[in-house]
Protein backbone atom coordinates (compact mmCIF):
# COMPACT_ATOMS: atom_id res chain seq x y z
CA UNK A 1 0.00 0.00 0.00
CA UNK A 2 2.79 2.41 0.98
CA UNK A 3 4.70 1.55 -2.19
CA UNK A 4 1.60 2.34 -4.21
CA UNK A 5 1.17 5.75 -2.54
CA UNK A 6 4.86 6.51 -3.03
CA UNK A 7 4.70 5.41 -6.70
CA UNK A 8 1.70 7.68 -7.23
CA UNK A 9 3.60 10.55 -5.63
CA UNK A 10 6.60 9.84 -7.89
CA UNK A 11 4.43 9.80 -11.00
CA UNK A 12 2.86 13.19 -10.10
CA UNK A 13 6.33 14.56 -9.29
CA UNK A 14 7.71 13.33 -12.63
CA UNK A 15 4.76 14.87 -14.50
CA UNK A 16 5.64 18.22 -12.89
CA UNK A 17 9.30 17.74 -13.85
CA UNK A 18 8.28 17.10 -17.44
CA UNK A 19 5.92 20.10 -17.55
CA UNK A 20 8.58 22.49 -16.17
CA UNK A 21 11.25 21.11 -18.50
CA UNK A 22 8.83 21.39 -21.44
CA UNK A 23 8.14 25.05 -20.61
CA UNK A 24 11.85 25.88 -20.52
CA UNK A 25 12.52 24.24 -23.87
CA UNK A 26 9.30 25.13 -25.68
CA UNK A 27 8.92 28.77 -24.64
CA UNK A 28 12.44 29.73 -23.60
CA UNK A 29 14.20 32.33 -25.72
CA UNK A 30 17.98 32.68 -25.64
CA UNK A 31 20.65 30.84 -23.69
CA UNK A 32 19.47 31.30 -20.10
CA UNK A 33 16.41 28.95 -20.21
CA UNK A 34 18.55 26.20 -21.71
CA UNK A 35 21.10 26.43 -18.90
CA UNK A 36 18.34 26.48 -16.28
CA UNK A 37 16.60 23.49 -17.87
CA UNK A 38 19.87 21.53 -17.85
CA UNK A 39 20.49 22.27 -14.15
CA UNK A 40 16.86 21.39 -13.41
CA UNK A 41 17.07 18.08 -15.25
CA UNK A 42 20.30 17.00 -13.53
CA UNK A 43 18.91 18.00 -10.10
CA UNK A 44 15.59 16.24 -10.71
CA UNK A 45 17.39 13.06 -11.73
CA UNK A 46 19.47 13.14 -8.53
CA UNK A 47 16.41 13.83 -6.36
CA UNK A 48 14.54 10.97 -8.04
CA UNK A 49 17.36 8.52 -7.26
CA UNK A 50 17.68 9.84 -3.69
CA UNK A 51 13.93 9.52 -3.09
CA UNK A 52 13.76 5.94 -4.35
CA UNK A 53 16.92 4.95 -2.48
CA UNK A 54 15.83 6.54 0.82
CA UNK A 55 12.35 5.00 0.50
CA UNK A 56 13.87 1.51 0.46
CA UNK A 57 16.14 2.38 3.40
CA UNK A 58 13.16 2.93 5.70
CA UNK A 59 11.94 -0.02 7.72
CA UNK A 60 8.27 0.63 7.02
CA UNK A 61 7.02 -2.33 9.06
CA UNK A 62 8.68 -0.94 12.15
CA UNK A 63 7.39 2.55 11.44
CA UNK A 64 3.83 1.27 10.95
CA UNK A 65 4.07 -0.87 14.07
CA UNK A 66 5.19 2.14 16.11
CA UNK A 67 2.43 4.30 14.67
CA UNK A 68 -0.24 1.70 15.50
CA UNK A 69 1.20 1.27 19.03
CA UNK A 70 1.13 5.02 19.50
CA UNK A 71 -2.48 5.20 18.31
CA UNK A 72 -3.54 2.38 20.65
CA UNK A 73 -2.01 4.20 23.60
CA UNK A 74 -3.97 7.30 22.62
CA UNK B 1 25.55 20.12 -29.39
CA UNK B 2 26.73 22.20 -26.42
CA UNK B 3 26.39 25.35 -28.52
CA UNK B 4 22.86 25.95 -27.21
CA UNK B 5 24.33 26.73 -23.77
CA UNK B 6 26.35 29.74 -24.91
CA UNK B 7 25.06 30.83 -28.31
CA UNK B 8 21.55 31.50 -29.55
CA UNK B 9 19.93 33.21 -32.52
CA UNK B 10 17.20 34.36 -30.13
CA UNK B 11 14.43 33.29 -32.46
CA UNK B 12 10.91 32.95 -31.11
CA UNK B 13 7.50 31.77 -32.18
CA UNK B 14 5.85 34.13 -34.67
CA UNK B 15 9.04 35.85 -35.83
CA UNK B 16 8.45 37.77 -39.08
CA UNK B 17 10.47 37.61 -42.27
CA UNK B 18 13.62 39.73 -42.08
CA UNK B 19 12.92 40.37 -38.42
CA UNK B 20 15.99 40.28 -36.22
CA UNK B 21 16.11 40.10 -32.46
CA UNK B 22 18.21 42.95 -31.13
CA UNK B 23 17.76 42.66 -27.39
CA UNK B 24 16.16 40.26 -24.92
CA UNK B 25 15.39 41.75 -21.54
CA UNK B 26 14.39 40.06 -18.33
CA UNK B 27 13.74 41.36 -14.85
CA UNK B 28 16.73 42.36 -12.75
CA UNK B 29 18.97 39.42 -11.79
CA UNK B 30 18.00 39.97 -8.15
CA UNK B 31 14.65 38.34 -8.96
CA UNK B 32 16.52 35.26 -10.20
CA UNK B 33 18.64 34.94 -7.06
CA UNK B 34 15.89 35.62 -4.50
CA UNK B 35 14.07 32.25 -4.89
CA UNK B 36 17.45 30.42 -4.98
CA UNK B 37 18.48 32.00 -1.65
CA UNK B 38 15.06 31.24 -0.18
CA UNK B 39 15.38 27.58 -1.28
CA UNK B 40 18.89 27.28 0.17
CA UNK B 41 17.78 28.96 3.39
CA UNK B 42 14.83 26.58 3.89
CA UNK B 43 16.89 23.47 3.13
CA UNK B 44 19.73 24.58 5.44
CA UNK B 45 17.27 25.45 8.20
CA UNK B 46 15.66 22.03 8.03
CA UNK B 47 19.05 20.32 7.88
CA UNK B 48 20.14 22.33 10.92
CA UNK B 49 16.99 21.35 12.86
CA UNK B 50 17.58 17.67 12.06
CA UNK B 51 21.17 17.98 13.27
CA UNK B 52 20.02 19.56 16.56
CA UNK B 53 17.76 16.59 17.29
CA UNK B 54 20.26 14.02 16.02
CA UNK B 55 21.02 12.76 19.52
CA UNK B 56 17.36 12.29 20.53
CA UNK B 57 15.83 8.83 20.91
CA UNK B 58 13.25 9.59 18.24
CA UNK B 59 15.99 10.39 15.71
CA UNK B 60 17.98 7.27 16.56
CA UNK B 61 14.89 5.13 16.04
CA UNK B 62 13.55 6.81 12.89
CA UNK B 63 16.62 8.40 11.27
CA UNK B 64 16.02 6.74 7.87
CA UNK B 65 12.38 7.93 7.89
CA UNK B 66 13.44 11.47 8.82
CA UNK B 67 15.98 11.60 5.98
CA UNK B 68 13.43 10.16 3.56
CA UNK B 69 10.93 12.90 4.50
CA UNK B 70 13.70 15.50 4.24
CA UNK B 71 14.54 14.39 0.68
CA UNK B 72 10.86 14.35 -0.32
CA UNK B 73 10.47 17.87 1.09
CA UNK B 74 13.60 19.04 -0.78
CA UNK B 75 12.38 17.54 -4.06
CA UNK B 76 9.04 19.36 -3.73
CA UNK B 77 10.95 22.58 -2.98
CA UNK B 78 13.12 21.89 -6.04
CA UNK B 79 9.98 21.94 -8.23
CA UNK B 80 8.70 25.10 -6.55
CA UNK B 81 12.08 26.78 -7.06
CA UNK B 82 12.16 25.97 -10.75
CA UNK B 83 8.56 27.05 -11.29
CA UNK B 84 9.74 30.44 -9.97
CA UNK B 85 12.87 30.40 -12.13
CA UNK B 86 10.77 29.36 -15.12
CA UNK B 87 8.42 32.32 -14.59
CA UNK B 88 11.47 34.61 -14.29
CA UNK B 89 13.11 33.19 -17.38
CA UNK B 90 10.01 33.20 -19.58
CA UNK B 91 8.95 36.75 -18.71
CA UNK B 92 10.76 38.62 -21.44
CA UNK B 93 10.73 41.82 -23.39
CA UNK B 94 12.02 41.27 -26.92
CA UNK B 95 13.24 44.18 -29.01
CA UNK B 96 13.46 43.41 -32.69
CA UNK B 97 14.09 45.69 -35.64
CA UNK B 98 10.32 45.77 -36.24
CA UNK B 99 8.51 45.22 -32.97
CA UNK B 100 8.55 45.25 -29.21
CA UNK B 101 7.17 41.99 -27.84
CA UNK B 102 6.27 41.40 -24.24
CA UNK B 103 5.76 37.81 -23.09
CA UNK B 104 4.31 37.54 -19.64
CA UNK B 105 4.26 34.08 -18.08
CA UNK B 106 2.03 33.83 -15.03
CA UNK B 107 2.33 30.11 -14.35
CA UNK B 108 2.21 26.71 -15.99
CA UNK B 109 0.31 26.93 -19.30
CA UNK B 110 -0.69 30.50 -18.49
CA UNK B 111 0.91 33.26 -20.49
CA UNK B 112 0.13 36.49 -22.25
CA UNK B 113 1.83 38.01 -25.28
CA UNK B 114 1.66 41.60 -26.47
CA UNK B 115 3.15 42.83 -29.74
CA UNK B 116 3.74 46.47 -30.55
CA UNK B 117 5.02 47.77 -33.85
CA UNK B 118 8.04 49.97 -33.33
CA UNK B 119 6.69 52.92 -35.36
CA UNK B 120 3.58 53.13 -33.15
CA UNK B 121 5.59 54.03 -30.07
CA UNK B 122 4.90 57.62 -29.00
CA UNK B 123 6.60 57.93 -25.66
CA UNK B 124 8.44 55.91 -23.07
CA UNK B 125 8.25 56.65 -19.36
CA UNK B 126 10.60 55.29 -16.74
CA UNK B 127 9.68 54.75 -13.10
CA UNK B 128 12.34 53.95 -10.53
CA UNK B 129 10.81 53.60 -7.09
CA UNK B 130 12.52 52.77 -3.82
CA UNK B 131 16.01 52.62 -2.42
CA UNK B 132 16.82 49.14 -3.71
CA UNK B 133 15.71 50.01 -7.25
CA UNK B 134 17.89 53.13 -7.16
CA UNK B 135 20.88 51.29 -5.79
CA UNK B 136 20.65 48.37 -8.21
CA UNK B 137 19.42 50.49 -11.11
CA UNK B 138 16.19 48.77 -12.09
CA UNK B 139 12.71 50.11 -12.72
CA UNK B 140 9.47 50.00 -14.68
CA UNK B 141 9.08 51.04 -18.27
CA UNK B 142 5.81 52.35 -19.65
CA UNK B 143 5.49 52.43 -23.41
CA UNK B 144 2.80 54.70 -24.74
CA UNK B 145 1.23 54.39 -28.16
CA UNK B 146 -0.90 56.88 -30.07
CA UNK B 147 -3.64 58.16 -27.79
CA UNK B 148 -3.48 58.26 -24.05
CA UNK B 149 -3.70 54.55 -23.39
CA UNK B 150 -0.56 53.01 -21.93
CA UNK B 151 0.00 49.89 -23.93
CA UNK B 152 2.91 48.24 -22.16
CA UNK B 153 4.13 48.19 -18.62
CA UNK B 154 7.25 46.16 -18.00
CA UNK B 155 8.37 46.04 -14.42
CA UNK B 156 11.79 45.72 -12.72
CA UNK B 157 13.91 45.93 -15.85
CA UNK B 158 17.63 46.51 -15.35
CA UNK B 159 19.11 49.77 -16.66
CA UNK B 160 15.74 51.24 -17.79
CA UNK B 161 17.29 54.44 -19.17
CA UNK B 162 19.53 52.46 -21.49
CA UNK B 163 16.56 50.35 -22.60
CA UNK B 164 14.62 53.52 -23.39
CA UNK B 165 17.52 54.86 -25.47
CA UNK B 166 17.82 51.53 -27.24
CA UNK B 167 14.12 51.47 -28.16
CA UNK B 168 14.29 55.01 -29.55
CA UNK B 169 17.45 54.12 -31.48
CA UNK B 170 15.64 51.17 -33.10
CA UNK B 171 12.61 53.39 -33.79
CA UNK B 172 14.76 56.06 -35.49
CA UNK B 173 16.52 53.42 -37.58
CA UNK B 174 13.14 52.00 -38.58
CA UNK B 175 11.82 55.44 -39.59
CA UNK B 176 14.96 56.22 -41.59
CA UNK B 177 14.58 53.01 -43.58
CA UNK B 178 11.35 54.39 -45.15
Prediction ipTM score:
0.89
Query: pLDDT band at B4, cuts 50/70/90?
Result: confident
pLDDT digits (tens, 9 = 90+) for B102-146: 888 888 888 888 888 888 888 888 999 989 899 999 999 888 887
Question: What residue ranges of chain A have pLDDT lower than 70?
Answer: 73-74
**What does the pLDDT look like over B161-177, one tens digit per residue?**
998 888 888 888 888 87
User: A47, B71: Cβ pair inside 8 Å?
Assistant: yes
Residues of A within 8 A of B6 (CB-CB) are 31
> Nearest-CA neighbor of B2 among A28, A35, A27, A20?
A35
**Confidence band, pLDDT 50/70/90 cuts, at residue B71:** very high
Contact criterion met (CB < 8 Å) for A19 and B85 = no
pLDDT for B16 equals 81
User: From the CB of residue A33, how many other CB atoms can be counted at a distance below 10 Å?
Assistant: 24
* Residue B155 pLDDT: 86
Q: Which residues of chain B make contact with A44, given a CB cutoff of 8 A?
A: 75, 78
Percentage of chain A beyond pLDDT 90 is 50
Q: What is the pLDDT of residue B150?
A: 58
Bridge partners (DSSP) of residue B16 are none
B23-56 pLDDT, tens digit each: 888 999 998 899 999 999 999 999 999 888 888 8
Interface of A with B in 25-54 (CB under 8 A): 27-36, 38, 40, 43-44, 47-48, 50-51, 54
pLDDT band at B9 (very low <50, low <70, confident <90, very high): confident
| Interchain pair B111, A17: CB under 8 A | no
Interchain contact, A24 vs B94, CB within 8 Å: no
CA distance linking residue B15 with residue B11, whole number of Å: 7
Amino acid sequence: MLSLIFSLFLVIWLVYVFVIFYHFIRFGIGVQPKILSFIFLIGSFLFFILMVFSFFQVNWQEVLKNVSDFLQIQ
Amino acid sequence: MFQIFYKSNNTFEGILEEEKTILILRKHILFLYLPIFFFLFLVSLLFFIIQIFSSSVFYLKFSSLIWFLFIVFCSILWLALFINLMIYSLNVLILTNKRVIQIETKGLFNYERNDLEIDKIQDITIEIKGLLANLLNFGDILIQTAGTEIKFKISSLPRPLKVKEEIFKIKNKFNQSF
